[in-house]
A and B are shown apart, each in its own frame.
Chain A
């Protein structure tokens, strides 16, 4: 590992070498350049780079349910809650706690759906996820994830960028900065949205922060151009574009001959890459190429445009058979197959407070579960049947969990369409599957109310360290010098631990 002074020199060199065009004799310097060395040879910042440590996974698909699903309606069966249903919660739940909306002493709320054990591993899964229940033996459920942020935007930023404030690079940016991408014709870090809204943290969730903007997530859209400005202007066809680029390249080469600026060569290469992306991105994004049985596996329907996607309040238009998320899961597999390093899905609409129509546990959660259940199970099955699951890490979860108490700031009585829980930071469930992850296990346990962890607590830092470790990036050494600090995804302290207990 280079020391800081060298790192600084390296940033300084990087501006030159990462842009340095073909044929530049930088090979001898490569060992000095570390993470930035590989690109020196090609001029492409996304050129694949060797991992720092032996990797267990090559790529990541991260499914984020924005708003945060209730672990108590999906994964954590707590009979004790049933016994205390609608009684006031114990004072220990409230001491020193801050809540987003709960006021005074709230009441306990029982699991709202039926649970059963599934698979050989015998894990508890609720009736809302029947398809997921069938693949639970492929998955490691972590029941004790805790965060220190209790509002959506800061909590989403914290889990994805390592800081609850804005301005830090996303996990996907870190990973593509560290490893490059395996397909030079596609972005290395792709973001797909569903649920009708951008997640609360906004585009900063896939921003590159202080890393160069080469590593920012590229939002691929399922309506219009999949990547902004990808299509040629109307009337300017591909042949003519080719002809234009040829003229442009010849004039630019002449400029390079005179000016000697390597940036010019890089620019010529980037225009060629853009031209290739015009074909490769729509092709990768085209799920009509999939056979019917694969579409059915996910519940995908190509070309479907959901009314919820452009609504002011999409929640009231949610339908269980809306395939937008399923389409995105299938896209994620296609993109991974094409060598994209990090595919990030955000599905909005999981914030079930019970305070207004369209955000309740009893009415909305079942609809949201229908939208994702078949798709996530299909994704795991499909990856496995293609031999991709072993090298692809799949992560699923929200930004925090939900309280064992019902939310009470608007209503204190239980009423149909108004059943909800507030934000809960002490313990919630996420799951991981695929590359390097033990199959069919539950990790961590919570108390009888699902309030506090009682065994194997897991912090956001632990998760971040583990994810980086799995793809071959040493979470402690992998850093980027900026503003006087060696910045890391896991933050400045050493508290993040690699969770050996979930690694196969």
Chain B
């Protein structure tokens, strides 16, 4: 136990020696001059640019303040910004005016420049009004640090920031606390107490470094850090909107985990996801990567305009791309020129046009997709295909029966009309082939001149027709189903139409509840249906009630109606008549060999269908063929139905231009984003990584590095990190390693009144950060300390228990079925995420729904969170597991309590902690002894086996204790 202080002492020693550090710290001069980008621009942007900025439609008085020449230009009334002469600068005169008509910004805008801001503007003009750009658009400059320092650059820069406020770094947290912090931050799982003990025994910088490297190399690293990327990529397992049906996109999620573990450099990570398909001969993995931008939602609601939602998806890709890499919001420029950042309405659509050339179009099947076949599946598919080919080949030995045989006569078809737009054509064998559109309902009217003489029966043959893939089908519906709601036979004699009564109808095959008799009952809601054996011809015979004599010039009209409304009309049919006694007319008898062949074919098609249904099809990006490219026009006021001028593809002019040789497509955009000239990508990403490790970014508004975002609390630090990341081969692991090796990261998070006064939100890093764990980590940690967690990686999402009745989405029958076995205990990243009904405990802990790009999760602290960790069966099951580990660790209550606390908190116990839990256990046991039924209930709902030798009341009481431990503030926090 004593040893754990050694590390602390070491750090304390370093801090005591801190005067040395000053030698190496960043240069700090007395009154810092005003910086345009940092100090002035935010004031102008927020108060002035809406009317005096880039947006020319709303520009007032022809004055621009966002451009140096314009702001300093001589105007009729004077000069807005006159360098060196604040008193003669109109801008100050107007801002400080006390007259309502004169004061700027006008009162109606509800904006006001504060006295401090006026002072800044005054100083800036007095200092000569030097111009510049918004800080984040300026190149990244690696701060020069005095050479020879022993301290990490991060610590030097943080210390410099602290020194301005008279603060210093805090000593390191205790070794066990540090170990827990590092594990939770790097892999999202808690260490075993023994791991912390080993480190505490020898808390050297080398041991720390070894632990860092060990964790970075674990596969759980990729799972934990993928979560950040999945939020940004708006990953979900469903398509969103009204129906919100499932989508198979988890192979992309697995790709993310894999490449994070392999430490794929950010430039490749970017290029492959945005444009992997456009790389020369892309690998399968590079195409999988493009599913990134297929995480957009698809609207399957009936009656929606697919183009509307295709456009919405493309715009979502623009918004996401700009936010994720550039930290800029482009959303406003959809409708009008951005009022604060330099992106015009036209430039938005130029950029849009780069993304507007992909094949996807809000289709139900999410095409284009890539089939993800395992080698075994590939072989199986070929086997099934070969089998069908072989059976179809054998079928050729059995030609279709002729029209005239066995007493049936063909007559001559005069016309076939189709009411709802199908096309028909007559074939030589007297059959009618249907083609063209396939409306939901169809009514075919066949007018024919029958063979002369008597008609005593009418035969309807439903014949097969080969589909493009060689499959034979009787019905026009996708699955070849066929329905006839009513069959009507009429005799035509000039203008006279007489219905012909049918005495009896029979057919060789019909579905249950859909007999052929239902097709002559006059009720359109019933009918004759064929939904099995759909790959072979079928026959119905209609015996006339009384024989019909057909005189010369008389015709027969047969109406075949399908009003079921499900597109199940016939594909090919033939009507013949007979003058023979119906009793002698038999339905065709299929020879045994042919019957077997048909049955085999049905089975083969069924097997192929089943196989095809379970194939994983991953939505991917694919560029349209050159001749199908879309022309992009401005959407006036953002409305895609109101096209304006056409635009040419390009990136916004205010930023660096496309790198030399970069193509004007998605690949070019990707190269542009990771180009060395781009200051935003490295800053935005470095800030993001920092925020994940410290709870808040150096730029707090991670989503907005534009004029309206918050300023960096320490720009030198941010730029050092950005330069380090970019110049260090874009290695995420290297960046994380540099951060967690710093003293800044390892500080104790203990807060004092004084620190709270000076650095209330710890934005200067005057102490270690302490914040609540993310939704997935809250879950994973509880399962881990319970000894329940499964570390199985990858594959389809799983369904851990959730309360019944949550999924009631319109027109979507997919059910939540609790996973069994280890899938109940998989890491949170694998929990099925349905956009309209996300997993409830995750949402309660601020997890997202994957609907739109989520740059950061705002942390809340709510009573509903308490209810989850207290009462959710998942957490109760975890309490059961933890209780078992506690009870099995010792027979002494105090030792059991200590085990539970150490498993959860890792650090050594404080005085009185174990005793408080032992007292709770004792009281709980007493109440369970008086009511043993309750002990049984609790044990069974915790789904845990009572360890041998322990009484049920006693064990139930330990579950109560474990439940308390899993709700400790310290357990739910990373400290």
Contacts and interface: CB of A to CB of B under 8 A. Distances in A.
Interface of A: 1-6, 8-9, 11-13, 15-16, 19, 45, 98-101, 150-154, 165-167, 193, 196-204, 207, 212-214, 218, 221, 223-225, 227-237, 239-241, 243-244, 247-248, 250-252, 254-256, 258-261, 263-264, 266-268, 270-271, 273-274, 277, 310, 312, 348, 355-356, 409-411, 423, 477, 481, 483-485, 492
B770 to A, nearest CB: 5
Contacts of A312: 813
Contacts of B963: 233, 236, 244
B3 interface: no
Contacts of A197: 808-810
Given A198-B809, A221-B805, A259 B749 contact: yes
Given A213-B860, A247-B916, A310-B805, A274 B969 contact: no
Contact of B872 (A12, A229, A254, A259): A229
B783 interface: no
Interface in B693-745: 696, 700-701, 703-704, 706-710
Contacts of A214: 860, 862
Interface in B138-161: none
B934 A237 contact: yes
5 contacts: A8-B701, A9-B710, A197-B809, A235-B934, A410-B440
B968 A202 contact: no
A251, A310, A423 interface centre (most CB from chain B within 10 Å): A251
B761 interface: yes
Given A235-B937, A252-B969, A274-B863, A263 B770 contact: yes
Contacts of B701: 8, 11
Q: Please list the 8 inter-chain residue pairs (A to B) with the smallest Cβ-Cβ separation, ordered nearest first.
A: A202-B836, A100-B303, A235-B938, A235-B937, A260-B751, A1-B110, A274-B866, A166-B851
B340 interface: yes
Nearest to A356: B565
Given A233-B871, A271-B863, A485-B332, A202 B964 contact: no
Contacts of A310: 805
B301 A484 contact: no
A270 B47 contact: no
B96 interface: no
Contacts of A484: 329, 332, 340-341, 704, 706-709
Interface in B277-332: 297, 299, 301-305, 312, 323, 329, 331-332
B92 interface: no
A6 B710 CA distance: 10
A486 B935 CA distance: 54
B178 interface: no
Contacts of A234: 937-938, 940-941
Given A235-B937, A243-B924, A268-B969, 6 more contacts: A3-B110, A229-B864, A255-B968, A261-B751, A263-B861, A274-B870
A356 B967 CA distance: 51
Contact of B808 (A198, A204, A244, A481): A198
B559 interface: no
A277 B867 CA distance: 10
Given A214-B860, A255-B968, A12 B700 contact: yes
A483 B871 contact: no
Given A237-B934, A410-B441, A153 B242 contact: yes
A125 B844 CA distance: 44
B970 interface: yes
A360 B836 CA distance: 27
Interface stretch (B111-119, B191-199, B469-477): B111-119
B913 A251 contact: yes
A218 B876 CA distance: 22
B808 A12 contact: no
Interface string B956-975: 10001001100111101101
B772 A263 contact: yes
Contact of B936 (A235, A274, A348): A235
B241 interface: yes
B804 A224 contact: yes
B927 A151 contact: no
Given A16-B760, A100-B303, A248-B968, A204 B751 contact: no
B499 interface: no
Contacts of B113: 3
B187 interface: no
Contact of A228 (B47, B641, B803, B934): B803
Contact of B301 (A153, A204, A225, A258): A153
B810 A228 contact: no
Which range contains the number of B residues in contact with the other chain?
A: 35 or more
B639 to A, nearest CB: 9
A218 B302 contact: no
A481 B836 CA distance: 25
Interface in B876-915: 876, 910, 912-913
Given A1-B110, A232-B871, A261-B751, A218 B864 contact: yes
A263 B844 CA distance: 17
B867 A266 contact: no
B120 to A, nearest CB: 11
A224 B805 contact: yes
A75 to B, nearest CB: 24
A251 B765 CA distance: 27
A411 B42 CA distance: 61
A200 B936 contact: no
B849 A207 contact: yes
B756 interface: yes
Contacts of B304: 100, 151
B340 A244 contact: no
B240 A166 contact: yes
Given A16-B760, A233-B876, A99 B837 contact: no
B642 to A, nearest CB: 11
Contacts of A260: 750-753, 756
A225 B967 CA distance: 21
Interface string B828-851: 000000011110110110100101
Contact of B835 (A11, A151, A202): A202
Nearest to B700: A12
Contact of A201 (B242, B871, B933, B938): B242
Contacts of B303: 99-101, 150-151, 423
Given A232-B871, A260-B750, A410 B761 contact: no
B46 interface: yes
Nearest to B869: A229
Nearest to A268: B969
A13, A229, A239 interface centre (most CB from chain B within 10 Å): A229
A204 B836 contact: yes
A230 B771 CA distance: 25
A98 B305 contact: yes
A244 B960 contact: yes
Contact of A477 (B110, B805, B852, B942): B110
A48 B912 CA distance: 39
Contact of B917 (A165, A199, A247): A247
Nearest to B939: A235
Nearest to B838: A203
B923 interface: yes
A202 B808 CA distance: 9
Contacts of A19: 861
A437 B743 CA distance: 62
B37 interface: no
A53 B873 CA distance: 45
A229 B938 contact: no
A190 B66 CA distance: 46
Interface in B749-767: 749-753, 756, 760-761, 763
A173 B959 CA distance: 37
B620 to A, nearest CB: 23
Contacts of A154: 241
B332 A492 contact: yes
Contacts of B851: 166-167, 204
